[in-house]
Chains A and B, each alone.
Chain A
Amino acid sequence: DAGITQSPRHKVTETGTPVTLRCHQTENHRYMYWYRQDPGHGLRLIHYSYGVKDTDKGEVSDGYSVSRSKTEDFLLTLESATSSQTSVYFCAISVRGCSGTAIYFGEGSCLTVV
Chain B
Amino acid sequence: TQLLEQSPQFLSIQEGENLTVYCNSSSVFSSLQWYRQEPGEGPVLLVTVVTGGEVKKLKRLTFQFGDARKDSSLHITAAQPGDTGLYLCAGVIGGTSYGKLTFGQGTILTVHP
Chain A residues near B (Cβ < 8 Å): 31-33, 40-45, 48, 50, 58-59, 90, 92-94, 100-108
Chain B: residues with Cβ within 8 Å of the partner, total of 25
Checking B4, B88, B100, B102 against A48 with a beta-carbon cut-off of 8 angstroms, the contacting residue is B100
**A40-B105, A41-B105, A43-B88 as given contacts; A102 in contact with B45, CB under 8 Å:** yes
1/0 contact string of B95-113 vs chain A (CB within 8 Å): 0011111111110000000
**A100-B48, A100-B50, A101-B48 as given contacts; A43 in contact with B100, CB under 8 Å:** no
Instruction: Decide if A45 touches B101 in the complex (CB within 8 Å).
Output: yes
Which 7 pairs across A and B sit closest by C-beta, in order of nearness?
A: A105-B42, A42-B103, A94-B99, A101-B98, A43-B103, A33-B99, A94-B98
Q: Which of B73-103 contact A (CB under 8 A)?
A: 88, 90, 97-103
Instruction: Decide if A42 touches B104 in the complex (CB within 8 Å).
Output: yes
Checking B40, B43, B100 against A105 with a beta-carbon cut-off of 8 angstroms, the contacting residue is B43
